[in-house]
Amino acid sequence: MATTTTLRVGVVQFAPRIGKVQANIAKARELCKGLTPRCVDLLCFPEMIFTGYVFPDAASISPYLEHPRTGPTSTFCAELARRLECYVTAGFPEHSEHDSNSLAAPLPLPLPSPATTAPPTSTPTSSPHNHTGPIGFNSAVLYSPTGEPLTLYRKSNLFETDLSWAAPGSGFTVLDLPPPLGKTTIAICNDLNVHNSAVWNSLEDGPYELARHCVREETRLLVLLNAWLKARNEDDEGGDEGEAKRTEEGEDNGDDDVELEPNWETLNWWAQRLRPTWAHHHPTITEKENGDQRTEPQINGSSIEPKDLVVVACNRFGDEGGKTFVGSSAMLMMRRGSGRPRLLHAMGEREEGIGIWTVPVRL
């Protein structure tokens, strides 16, 4: 009989001010000051949370690109991980001069392949106009409970805002972490969508790149670090694929219900983009290539039991450059073959704070 344990995840949601790195870190410290050691197993911060996200071009983001070990995001994560004795992950803009060769040696888990590293640059403050290619990566770092860096993930499916400065990463990976986390995949926002060269065929076919990765690798925990936008209207696809409502920064429309309620369209979008992890039957890559019409899920020719996938989507809110971020951080449970995703916890669209969420997981 399978045994169970409890997974405890902390999700930090607030509205950073673009370019105000130290002020945003101070805000995060204030939100986290009440947390005690070992109160959570994993603490998550969203995509590029301390720099802000909507930089119009490479020149504007260049001064904020960070080293993945010594930059302000990593320094903060390491300190917090040591204090709370938990894993900590956060998104940040990485400077491309620090390639994976310079990082790989001290880290026990693999980093992106050097073959996909962007051309090196001279200094973090040099003008991006002198470069012919990307000057950085949209990245996420994970720190261990002892404050050691474990791995660096680089966003694979870039959004239009990333394209002026970032190179894509080398693809999704899975980390085999100690219980209760288990096999963990870290992804960033638009990774839920598809590469620009891919065409969405149908609800059945996708392509569901990230979801198929999680099924193939038997991922148990998917962590999405987002800067997800609010769709302008119901026809927009939302998030990294849709335009945001244009609002003046700091404007308060007084709608308390919107502040406290999650954006249900966004939650539905996230769940639909992970359809193969919960649908009654969704053909795997192996099945489709072999023309196999069997209803029993197959991976690499072997039958598998339905697996539970815990999905943690950590998002920010606030306004930048006419874009509105939708908040609505959430925890969902995806059970292979169940026919429906389950929403376990969610925050409101403009709810500031930390969600401390627990879920039983099978060992």
Mean pLDDT over the full length of the chain? 82
Report the half-sphere exposure of 112 (CA within 13 A, side-chain side).
27
The structural domains of the chain, ordered by start, are 4-362 (3.60.110.10)
User: How large is the average pLDDT for residues 327-349?
Assistant: 96
Q: What is the pLDDT of residue 335?
A: 94
Alpha-carbon distances of 104 from 178, 183, 185, rounded to whole Å: 21, 20, 19
Sequence-ordered list of residues with C-beta below 8 angstroms from that of 218, at least 6 positions apart, any chain: 183, 304, 307
Cβ 65 vs Cβ 93: under 8 Å: yes
Sign of the C-alpha dihedral, residues 120, 126, 128, 132? Answer: negative
Picking from 107-111, 157-161, 195-199, 275-279, which range would have the lowest pLDDT averaged per residue?
Answer: 107-111
Q: What is the pLDDT of residue 98?
A: 55
* CA distance linking residue 271 with residue 46, whole number of Å: 18
DSSP labels, 270-303:
HHHTTGGGTSS----HHHHHHT---SS-EETTEE
The token pair at 122 is 């001279």
DSSP, collapsed to helix, strand or coil, labels residue 8 as strand
Picking from 148-162, 263-277, 297-311, 320-334, which range would have the lowest pLDDT averaged per residue?
Answer: 297-311
pLDDT at 110 over 50: no
Picking from 22-26, 290-294, 319-323, which range would have the lowest pLDDT averaged per residue?
Answer: 290-294
Picking from 72-81, 84-93, 301-310, which range would have the lowest pLDDT averaged per residue?
Answer: 301-310
Q: How confident is the model at residue 24 (pLDDT cuts 50, 70, 90)?
A: very high
* CA distance linking residue 352 with residue 11, whole number of Å: 11
Q: What is the pLDDT of residue 306?
A: 53
Sequence-ordered list of residues with C-beta below 8 angstroms from that of 302, at least 6 positions apart, any chain: none
pLDDT at 242 over 50: no
pTM for this predicted structure: 0.82
The token pair at 61 is 């983001």
Angle between helices 72-84 and 21-32 (to 10 degrees): 10
User: How large is the average pLDDT for residues 68-77?
Assistant: 97
Sign of the C-alpha dihedral, residues 48, 52, 54, 58? Answer: negative
Q: What is the pLDDT of residue 196?
A: 67
Q: What is the pLDDT of residues 169-182, one digit of tens each?
A: 999 999 999 999 99
Sequence-ordered list of residues with C-beta below 8 angstroms from that of 202, at least 6 positions apart, any chain: none
Q: What is the pLDDT of residue 141?
A: 98
Q: Which amino acid is located at 43 in the chain?
A: L
